[in-house]
Amino acid sequence: MKLAFIGLGVMGYPMAGHLQRKVGAVRVYNRTAAKADKWCGEYGGESAPTPAEAAAGRDLVMLCVGNDDDVRQVALGGSGALAGMAPGSILIDHTTASVSLARELGAAAAERGIGFLDAPVSGGQAGAENGKLTIMIGGEEETFARAEPALAAYAAFSKRLGPVGSGQLAKMVNQICIAGVVQGLAEALNFAARAGLDGEAVIETISRGAAGSWQMSNRGETMLRDEYDFGFAVDWMRKDLGIAMEEAGRIGAELPITAIIDNFYAEVQQMGGGRWDTSSLLRRFTRPS
């Protein structure tokens, strides 16, 4: 199988590496060419100077860039991926983006006889590096069936949730859940500290019961150590919550808690924490007033 991967960031770089090692020949494109050169040196693939040239003649073309506008820049237009792709090939967007963008890309792909899947991921940098991501898919069943064996190179689990756009909607559900859980954990650890409890001992105890969560197990101790220089950046979370709140307005779903937590994340950004992990909500409670 011939593949292309566009966007070698924190997520895309290792994902493209898994494809090259487990599935087939990967041609990469990255806006900053030095990263593509580094990737080729590490994995032995080839790189191209534009997304269209990377995508030309490939069976599957994966994207993982920043936001809606970034996806438009690498997918559409004369040098975008779709311009290089042949009918019968499939474009897969792993970027966390809006439903309207997914539908726009789906329509642009369909006009050219190209399949499209919106396929945002969860599992973070560690999931990408270990090849253990969860992928939420929107698109035709038949398109997913053709792409799934390749996606398995970096996914522990992938599932089609409905037509184009459904993957992005499921990712919004994912981010709404995470925001609430992280804020609950931050409030709880702040309460424990002010009550004079040993935070580590409390986590060791309550993580075994109904209060336990992925966030408690994977972030509780680093929060207690005030360590946030890793993980999923607050800037990305604000992008994702913004997408979710806009969609909520469209479909009439109330997100009162999510809206409050989004404001808390804005405060973390003002504290200089745009690149801190999302668990840095705890720092709001300890910042000097």
**Is residue 125 a contact residue for ligand NAP (CB under 6 A)?**
yes
Contact between 200 and 217 under an 8 Å Cβ cutoff? The reply is: no
**Is residue 8 a contact residue for ligand NAP (CB under 6 A)?**
yes
**Binder to ligand NAP among 23, 52, 54, 74 (CB under 6 A)?**
74
3-state secondary structure of 271: coil
**Binder to ligand NAP among 22, 32, 217, 270 (CB under 6 A)?**
32
**Is residue 12 a contact residue for ligand NAP (CB under 6 A)?**
yes
- Using CB under 6 A, which of the segments 66-74, 109-117, 182-190, 247-255 binds ligand NAP? 66-74
Torsion angle of the four alpha carbons 273, 279, 281, 286, in this order, in degrees rounded to the nearest 10: -90
Residue nearest to ligand NAP (CB): 9
**Is residue 65 a contact residue for ligand NAP (CB under 6 A)?**
yes
Q: How far is the CB of 184 from ligand NAP (least distance, A)?
A: 21
Q: How far is the CB of 29 from ligand NAP (least distance, A)?
A: 8
Closest CB to ligand NAP among 29 and 144? 29
**Is residue 66 a contact residue for ligand NAP (CB under 6 A)?**
yes
Contact between 63 and 92 under an 8 Å Cβ cutoff? The reply is: yes
**Is residue 16 a contact residue for ligand NAP (CB under 6 A)?**
no
Kindly write down the DSSP assignment for every residue of 63-110, as one continuous string: E--SSHHHHHHHHSSTTSHHHHPPTT-EEEE-S---HHHHHHHHHHHH
Q: How far is CA 116 from its chain centroid?
A: 17
Cα distances (Å, whole numbers) of residue 122 to 48, 94, 170, 235 = 28, 10, 10, 16
CA dist 79 and 93 (Å) reads 17
Contact between 273 and 280 under an 8 Å Cβ cutoff? The reply is: yes
Q: How far is the CB of 89 from ligand NAP (least distance, A)?
A: 20
Place of tokens 């490939």: 58
Closest CB to ligand NAP among 9 and 188? 9
**Binder to ligand NAP among 35, 38, 103, 275 (CB under 6 A)?**
35
**Is residue 79 a contact residue for ligand NAP (CB under 6 A)?**
no
**Is residue 175 a contact residue for ligand NAP (CB under 6 A)?**
no
What does residue 6 show for φ and ψ, rounded to 5 degrees? -115, 120
Annotated catalytic residues are 171
**Binder to ligand NAP among 23, 52, 64, 216 (CB under 6 A)?**
64
